[in-house]
Amino acid sequence: MGVDLHASAMRESGTAYRGVKLLHDPVHNKGTAFTAEERAVLGLKGLLPPRAQSMDLQVQRAMENIRVKNNDLERYVFLSALQDRNETLFYRVVMDHLKELMPIIYTPTVGEACQKFGHIFRRPRGLFISREDKGHIHDVLQNWPHEDVKFIVVTDGERILGLGDLGADGMGIPIGKLALYTACAGIHPTQCLPITLDVGTESKDRLSDPLYIGTQARRLKGSDYDELIEEFMVAVTTQFPGVVVQFEDFANHNAFRLLRTYQDRFCVFNDDIQGTASVTMAGLLSALKVTHKPLTDQKLLFFGAGEAGIGIGHLISGAMESEGLSLAEARQRCWFFDSTGLVTKSRTNLAEHKLPFAHDGVFTDNLLEAVNRLRPTALIGVSGMPQTFTKEIVEAMSSFQDRPIIFALSNPTSKSECTAKQAYKWSNGKAIYASGSPFDLVDYKGQTFVPGQANNAYIFPGLGLGLLVSGAERVTDELFAIAARSLADQVRESDLAVGRIFPALETIRTVSAQIA
């Protein structure tokens, strides 16, 4: 093999990407895969073991190291270190072993990694923009070394998965999401920028932890917070024209408001609201291939009325409207049960985002009673409250539905409303089940079930690829509905036969391309 064009260009330009500096640059480093000729040209002779090794051998070595680790957090740390020193190898490893490694680089392991982020911190990745940078955010952005940024995932760390306020320790989420843009849709890593807005935290543990990486102060709120967000949005869209900004893990009181504020001004979306809605709608459409009942006949009961639940309700209501119902009729088919109880018109002081789904009905604060009264076709958990879909609730669902749809979507695994095994056992194998985090195969009465994972990674990488290629200036709800239908269309009869209502994870790059 001759010297590649990139190596020739580096030689001609006299770039600093030579020798040790090249080996320390994760974007250009190839490790032991540099050929003898490349080593001579790039000043690498003697800096590497003499034997050049193929990418396949490097992958083999990496996987051997990953599999001997004692736990998933150690595997996460190993993969993070690999990403820091050799991005090409990192993505090859992840892409070749996506089913095995996605739960490591994202849910559920990323949740534990965020909880311990300050204690496992090795090397910075992405940008941290703090409250002290107000008035100078554009200057901070200019420190980023890559100019062609097309995707930003940003969080303020206030509502990380179902784990609460982790502050700056939530940086693991933007890093993990953007890794999936590359692994699942082929977006170049240098076009991806993870950002954490360090506006403080209300976590007492972090405020007193000497190893916490963020500002040890209470959260910025009110007009000070809004002014920082406004400056950030203007700065990033000026510094990186055409960039897509993905809001991630903002608390409810900010998430809906920020989406409304910016969705008509910039190319932005909220994955917790819109991405979760899209993948859940896809799961529902796939489930209807099993029940053979139209979408407009469904009655949904959501356990949880935050970003995810309300986002799903709006997207599915819109889909029902497109199939013939009025919007009012469609919303009437979506019921919500929050931390107080059933969302009804009789309740006072409902949050604004819940009002479209407040219906006439008798209030109850008992979920089992609500299930028995409403007799929903689907029960969708987005509460962050584990083990709340009890045996009695699943049995009730199974008593009036031949194939009850039960989605326990809360992340990470420890927050799931019920496990796959519980759902299949308590429904006597009748449940059509999906979860937010992965569960193992379930053997029940001679049948092996493959639980579906309603993973947003089925949606946002393909959506992002479509936005990039099309040059779209805004992200509309219609795009998420199209993505949902595209995903459902790719579910095969062989998937449904084993209880899986999403395509096999190994096909996700094809899925992303089809959505795009």
Marked catalytic residue, from 17, 30, 91, 177: 177
Asked whether 275 and 350 are in contact (CB, 8 A), the reply is no
What are the start-end ranges of the E strands in 377-514? 378-381, 405-408, 432-435, 442-444, 447-449, 452-453
Q: How distant, in Å, are the alpha carbons of 104, 106, 489 from that of 176?
A: 9, 6, 27
- Sign of the Cα torsion 371, 311, 419, 504 reads positive
Asked if 212 is an active-site residue, the reply is no
Q: How far apart are the first and last CA of the chain?
A: 35
- Sign of the Cα torsion 197, 199, 204, 210 reads positive
**SS3 sequence of 326-378:** CHHHHHHCEEEECCCCECECCCCCCCHHHHHHCECCCCCCCHHHHHHHHCCCE
Asked whether 370 and 301 are in contact (CB, 8 A), the reply is yes
Asked whether 338 and 363 are in contact (CB, 8 A), the reply is no
Asked whether 410 and 417 are in contact (CB, 8 A), the reply is yes
For 284, the 3-state DSSP assignment is helix
For 257, the 3-state DSSP assignment is helix
For 413, the 3-state DSSP assignment is helix
DSSP 13-65: HT-S-SHHHHHT-TTT--GGG--HHHHHHTT-TTTS-SS---HHHHHHHHHHH
Asked whether 378 and 301 are in contact (CB, 8 A), the reply is yes
Helix runs in 275-345, H state only = 276-291, 307-322, 327-332
Asked whether 274 and 316 are in contact (CB, 8 A), the reply is no
For 407, the 3-state DSSP assignment is strand
Marked catalytic residue, from 17, 76, 91, 106: 106
Asked if 106 is an active-site residue, the reply is yes
Nearest to 80 by CA among 23, 143, 122: 122
The set of catalytic residues is 106, 177
